Chain A
Amino acid sequence: MSRNTKINLLLLLAVAALAVLPLALGLGDHKKEPFTGADGEAETAITEIEPDYKPWFSPLYEPPSGEIESALFSLQAALGSGVLAYYFGLRRGRRQGEQRARERDSESRAAGGAAEESTAEGA
């Protein structure tokens, strides 16, 4: 494995560790519902500060269940990673294509050069 790949893997590993550690160390244990969204906690905090506050507008569409919601979230992530993968795949393919074309070029030039030399000798 090249040094470059190793560094990239280490970066990914560090991100994974940062995500797993709070779970593994049980940092959510002091809460009634551990690892809820911060956005939701903010809503609770608002109603603590202003118990009378009523949201004056509701979402036009709400996913009917947690499953549908997580499906839509995965769709968002999948769309994004699809585009990213396409980008890097395309770049890699182009680079390889260019390199091969260069190799062929230099090979044929070498072969052409040799042919010219032999004709020169013949004359």
Chain B
Amino acid sequence: MHIAEGFLPPAHAVAWGVASAPFVLHGVRSLTREVREHPESTLLLGASGAFTFVLSALKLPSVTGSCSHPTGTGLGAILFRPPVMAVLGTITLLFQALLLAHGGLTTLGANIFSMAIVGPWAGYAVYRLLRRYGVPLMVAVFCAAFVADLSTYCVTSVQLALAFPDPGSGFLGALGKFGSIFAVTQIPLAVSEGLLTVLVMRLLVQSSKGELTRLGVFLAEKESRSETEAVAR
């Protein structure tokens, strides 16, 4: 999902930067409030950021014969809500832009928009929706991580198709082209990300039940008990 440095025309680069900035600023405010009001959650915040760090460094082969990487933003979005992920995702993208020449400063706004804004919000929306209808925790977690991952790459495809419409077939033709490069490649990786997020959530249920209860992960006391029993067996 990294649009390489200089690969978005200046007008597009600026527009995506302007679109992303308020989300990141709002995220910084949410993050500082969270840390001030609940200093004990700093550690779990760090772990959520670390999860994004690991997953976005994992380049995995896919069925299309090319490689891509997961994003790891679904977990933090479920735990701390999407604004916080806007900040943690931005930090990851900056690290890769500055040290790895992966992504870039001129395309940072566009990359933040796909990975740190749309991905977390889409995953979170799916999570909340499923939970409202009483879907079991781990199923909702899997779906949220899957959607957060895949939607990020769909946004990247749209961003590139907007900037480089096909001379013959226009925006839709270009969308098909970029979509087949990014979105199709991403489907098995999104499954992997879903499985890994479920794994980490299971470890969290086991180790940090109090924290998860405070963050409102369990629907009711009954579910908290049955999930804990499930991982204790």
Residue positions of A touching B, CB distance < 8 A: 2-4, 7-8, 11-12, 14-15, 18-19, 21-23, 27-31, 34-39, 41-43, 45-46, 49-50, 53, 55-63, 69, 72-74, 76-77, 79-84, 87-88, 90-92, 95
Contact in complex: B65, A31 (CB < 8 Å): yes
One of A7, A38, A84 near B182 (C-beta < 8 A): A38
Q: Render B40-64 as a binary contact track against A, CB cut-off 8 A, 1 for contact.
A: 0001101101111111111111111
| Residues of chain B lying within 8 A (CB to CB) of residue A57 | 5-6, 104-106
Chain A nearest CB, measured from B110 CB (Å): 12
Dominant secondary structure at the A interface: helix
CB of B96 within 8 Å of the partner chain: yes
**Which single member of A15, A61, A76, A84 contacts B47 (CB below 8 Å)?**
A84
For the complex, what is the distance from the CA of A58 to the CA of B50, rounded to whole Å? 28
Is the Cβ of B96 less than 8 Å from the Cβ of A36?
no
Chain A's closest residue to B59 (CB) is: A37
Let me know if A46 and B7 touch, CB within 8 A.
Answer: yes
- CB distance B6 to A15 under 8 Å? no
Name the residue of chain B whose CB is nearest to the CB of A46.
B164
Known: A15-B196, A42-B3, A49-B166. A28 touches B106 (CB 8 A): no
Which B residues are in CB contact (< 8 Å) with A92? Answer: 207
The reply to whether A59 and B50 contact each other, CB–CB distance below 8 Å, is no
Size class of the contact patch on chain B: 35 or more
- B147-184 interface code vs A (CB 8 A; 1 in, 0 out): 00000000010001000111100000010011001100
Contacts of B198 in A (CB 8 A): 11
Please determine whether A11 and B164 come into contact, CB atoms closer than 8 angstroms.
Answer: no
List the one stretch of B77-85, B126-134, B185-193 in contact with chain A: B185-193
Please judge, given known A-B contacts A39-B4, A61-B98, whether A11 and B196 are in contact too, CB under 8 Å: yes
Q: Verify B10–A23 contact, CB threshold 8 A.
A: no
Q: A53 vs B2: C-alpha distance in the bound complex, in angstroms? A: 18
* Residue ID in chain B nearest A85 by CB atoms: B50
A84 touches B181 (CB 8 A): no
Contacting pair B101 A45 (CB below 8 A)? no
Instruction: Answer whether A55 and B4 are a contact pair too, CB < 8 Å, given A22-B65, A46-B160, A88-B203.
Output: yes
Of the listed stretches B21-29, B30-38, B115-123, B225-233, chain A binds B225-233
Cα(A50)–Cα(B51), bound, Å: 37
Question: Which one, B52, B59, B98, B178, contacts A45 given CB within 8 A?
Answer: B178
CB–CB B63/A22 < 8 A = yes
Q: Is the CB of A62 within 8 A of B66?
A: no
Say how far B220's CB is from chain A's closest CB, in angstroms: 22
A39 touching B233, Cβ below 8 Å: no
- Report, nearest first, the 5 A-B pairs whose CB atoms are least far apart: A55-B6, A80-B53, A28-B65, A80-B54, A83-B50
- Give CA–CA (A12, B196) in the complex, Å: 7
Q: For residue B54, which residues in chain A have a CB less than 8 angstroms away from its CB?
A: 76-77, 80-81, 84
